[in-house]
A = this chain, B = another copy of it.
């Protein structure tokens, strides 16, 4: 093959440009102005790309030979290192094919494949971690030889440029010795070599995706070579000892730097014990884990990084870090090989954190058409409204009612908790987790109960529980006789023959009030976003309920209590643990991660407490819908 221009017959024509590609040794011709990438595709040359020429994925780099490489474009600068740029690498999608040019592109040794899983759907497997197998040439006495530059040269034809972590450089001489001139596997995170291993270990490549919840932490060990989940493990967040919710955690950090460190150490201890279990379960060696991805709310992200989140605790709610943070495990005390990469998803606001960004990525919120509302229902309700991809968010402090806390007989969604409630002429019908007799009520049961009490008239749209005499007049007798008076508004006997039974479960007027406050807070946020976008509830094309609680609540009950606007139930769907899915996608797909990094600056944030007439708007959102006017279906 030669890169000089020769007449090669039929492909030669007026206005056509001829050039060649390596390693294929193919000469191609394309109309003037065709990008290098398009020219390759015209001739079935597999230049790697994820974003299909949009200049965002940075994978279509080619080394330009035969002419002075053109000035770098913004996309080149974003995606290629200064070393790569000055060596003559450019993105093939950014520049036209030039007559007599030669384009050397990295051999696509990792064939991109589409991974399908129930949770993740179809995603293109394209992790930030890659393994390349090289052999080092024999050192030459005539020229000064150094093993790392020789390695860089061996990688150059595969990757362009690469740098190395100090830890990896320390391994190199021993690994080179052990390889005895045979294959060496170089593991790269981005374009940085982080590990050298003798032999070919390309099938052993793992990462861990962590979802750091205030209550519990879930870790998923992902096989980055296969795109599959190798193990999952979870544990309670070790910080719980210092407070059950983010507010109490932040109060604790207000005690000073030492307390920040205590909470940091606690979460890292939990992470380390999860890592141990994951590795044991999947029989994976610690040294084959090369990257960890973290999502969590803004406070959890700060504590993971050992950064004081205490100012998030009071107005004007100031955090420290917003952008994604890239660091290494030893900087956090995480027990993996030195130099293992850490990527913590970016935050949007003090109460709209990295977990919500991950959820937006997992649900593809930005790419959905129409008006889409996403709510992560929890102690803190995070709400996002996407109008043809333009995203507006807010946070609503719902309080712990949805988790069963501050409810007289409330409990977590665990065995013995009432999770479904139906009321009719015959009385009360309950579904209890585990099928036993009920011990209390969890959030979804509470929501159900109140929805049913509204429908049957036991609770007025104002939220008031009818007095027994009113109930007897307006409601089925089987229900009315379960209403009892007391000095603080009365209560409804959900389970048991009488209020005196030892095993009775009641729902008190105060509990209804708690639910009302929680749903009112979230609905107030929903209303504010809709108002900001000039929309009404009925304009919503989709409502996505995210998070553990969002997955379990009954869509009709959510409408009935007015947690969400009154739209057809078919437009409401539960999207599961979107944050956890997003974190896994961040490990498996560089494109997903880049999208996550780019998302926060595009998202607007609305602070509810700064709204004019906020109190009035909140009060307005507190009321329940009148069952008579509620749509059906």
Contact = CB atoms under 8 A, between A and B. Distances in A.
A148 B82 CA distance: 25
A322 B146 contact: yes
Interface in A316-331: 316-323, 325, 327, 331
Given A72-B77, A74-B85, A316 B141 contact: yes
Interface of A: 70-74, 76-78, 82, 85-86, 139-149, 166, 169-170, 172-174, 257, 305-308, 310-311, 315-323, 325, 327, 331, 347-350, 352, 605, 607, 609-610
B71 A317 contact: no
22 contacts: A71-B72, A71-B73, A72-B76, A72-B77, A77-B77, A77-B82, A77-B85, A140-B316, A141-B609, A142-B607, A144-B349, A144-B607, A146-B319, A146-B347, A147-B319, A148-B323, A166-B325, A166-B327, A170-B306, A173-B310, A173-B311, A174-B257
Given A71-B71, A169-B305, A146 B325 contact: no
Contacts of A71: 70-73
A294 B572 CA distance: 63
Contacts of A85: 74, 77
A143 B607 contact: yes
B145 A317 contact: yes
A55 B18 CA distance: 34
A77 B86 contact: yes
Contacts of A315: 141
Given A143-B607, A169-B325, 19 more contacts: A72-B72, A72-B77, A74-B85, A74-B86, A78-B86, A139-B316, A141-B316, A141-B317, A144-B607, A145-B317, A146-B319, A146-B321, A146-B322, A148-B321, A166-B306, A166-B325, A169-B307, A170-B305, A174-B257
A170 B316 contact: no
Contacts of A74: 85-86
Contacts of A72: 71-72, 76-77
A23 B509 CA distance: 64
Nearest to A261: B170
A393 B148 CA distance: 21
Given A73-B71, A140-B316, A610-B141, A305 B146 contact: no
B144 A320 contact: no
A140 B318 CA distance: 9
B310 A141 contact: no
Nearest to A342: B166
A150 B605 CA distance: 16
A331 B330 CA distance: 10
Contact of A320 (B143, B172, B350): B172
A611 to B, nearest CB: 9
Contacts of A305: 166, 169-170
A179 B77 CA distance: 37
Q: Which of A141, A173, A322, A350 has the most CB of B within 10 A?
A: A173
Contacts of A310: 173
6 A-B pairs with the lowest CB-CB distances in the bound complex, closest first: A144-B349, A71-B71, A141-B316, A146-B322, A173-B308, A77-B85
Contacts of A322: 144, 146, 148-149
